[in-house]
Structure 1
Amino acid sequence: MLDKAKSIEDYIVKVRRTFHENPELSNQEYDTQRLIVDELEKLGLEIETVGNTSTIARLIGSKKGKTVVLRADMDALPIIEESEIDFKSKNDGVMHACGHDAHSAMLLGAAKILSGMRDKINGEVRFFFQEGEENFSGAKKIIEAGGMENVDGCFAMHGLPTMETGFANIEGGYRLTGCDTIYIKFEGVSGHGSSPQLAKDTIHPACMFVTDIQGIVTKNVAPQEPVVVSVGRINAGTKANIISKYAEIDMSMRYFDPAARKVVHDAIIRHANAIADAYEIEVSVDIEESTLSLKNDDDLVRIAQKTSEKVLGKGKNILMKPLMASEDMSYYFQHAKGVYINMGFKNDEKGSVYFPHHEKFKIDEDYMVYGTAMFAQFALDFLDSELY
Structure 2
Amino acid sequence: MSNILDKVKSIEDYIIKFRRDLHENPELSGQEFKTQEKIMKELDKLGIPYKKAGNSSLIATLKGEKSGKTIALRGDIDALPVKEEADVEFKSKTPGLMHACGHDAHAAMLLGAAKILSEMKDEIPGEIRFFFQEGEETFTGAKKIIEAGGMDGVDACFGMHGMPGLETGYVDITPGYRMAGCDTIYVKFEGVSGHGSVPHLAKDTIHPACIFVTDLQGIVAKNIDAQEPIVLSVGKFVGGTKANIVAKYTDIDISMRYFNPKVRELAHNAIKRHAKAIADAYELKVDVIIEESALSLYNDDELSILADKSCTKVFGEGKNITLPKMMGSEDMPYYFKHAKGVYALLGYRNEEKEAIYFPHHEKFKIDEDYMKYGTALHVQFAIDFLNK
Is the TM-score greater than 0.5? yes
3-state SS of paired residue (2:252):
strand
Corresponding position of 1:203: 206
Aligned with residue 329 of structure 2, among 326, 329, 332: 326
What 5-or-longer segments of structure 1 have no aligned partner?
A: none
Corresponding position of 1:49: 52
Residue correspondence of structure 1 range 333-372 to structure 2 within 5 A: 333-372=336-375
Give the TM-score, by structure 1 length.
Answer: 0.99
Corresponding position of 1:156: 159
- The answer to whether the Cα contact below 8 Å between 2:349 and 2:366 also exists between their aligned partners in 1 is yes
Alpha-carbon distance in 2 for matches of 1:377, 1:319: 20
- C-alpha displacement of 1:13: 0.4
Corresponding position of 1:129: 132
Corresponding position of 1:77: 80
Alpha-carbon distance in 1 for matches of 2:79, 2:340: 27
Structure 2 residue 253 is matched with structure 1 residue 253:
no
Query: What are the Cα deviations for residues 35-80 of structure 1, in whole angstroms up to 9, with x where unaligned?
Result: 0111111111121001000000000001000000000001011111
Alpha-carbon distance in 1 for matches of 2:322, 2:188: 42
Alpha-carbon distance in 1 for matches of 2:65, 2:260: 41
Alpha-carbon distance in 2 for matches of 1:147, 1:379: 16
Residue correspondence of structure 1 range 369-388 to structure 2 within 5 A: 369-385=372-388
Corresponding position of 2:299: 296
- The answer to whether the Cα contact below 8 Å between 2:165 and 2:323 also exists between their aligned partners in 1 is no
- C-alpha displacement of 1:151: 0.2
Corresponding position of 2:193: 190
Alpha-carbon distance in 2 for matches of 1:117, 1:308: 19
Amino acid at match of 2:280: D
Aligned with residue 172 of structure 2, among 147, 162, 169: 169
Aligned with residue 221 of structure 2, among 211, 218, 237: 218
- C-alpha displacement of 1:320: 1.3
Alpha-carbon distance in 2 for matches of 1:249, 1:276: 14
3-state SS of paired residue (1:107):
helix
Residue correspondence of structure 1 range 100-139 to structure 2 within 5 A: 100-139=103-142
Amino acid at match of 1:371: G
- The answer to whether the Cα contact below 8 Å between 2:212 and 2:275 also exists between their aligned partners in 1 is yes
Corresponding position of 1:16: 19
- C-alpha displacement of 1:18: 0.5
Alpha-carbon distance in 1 for matches of 2:40, 2:209: 51
Give the TM-score, by structure 2 length.
Answer: 0.99
- C-alpha displacement of 1:214: 0.5
What 5-or-longer segments of structure 2 have no aligned partner?
A: none
- C-alpha displacement of 1:321: 1.1
- The answer to whether the Cα contact below 8 Å between 2:63 and 2:121 also exists between their aligned partners in 1 is yes
Alpha-carbon distance in 2 for matches of 1:50, 1:316: 36
- The answer to whether the Cα contact below 8 Å between 2:223 and 2:266 also exists between their aligned partners in 1 is yes
Instruction: Could you list the structure 1 runs, at least 4 aligned residues long, displaced by more than 2 angstroms after superposition.
Output: none
Query: What are the Cα deviations for residues 231-272 of structure 1, in whole angstroms up to 9, with x where unaligned?
Result: 000111111111010000000000000000000000000000
Corresponding position of 1:242: 245
3-state SS of paired residue (1:316):
coil
3-state SS of paired residue (1:166):
coil
Alpha-carbon distance in 2 for matches of 1:91, 1:4: 34
Query: What are the Cα deviations for residues 325-363 of structure 1, in whole angstroms up to 9, with x where unaligned?
Result: 100000000000000010001000000000001000000
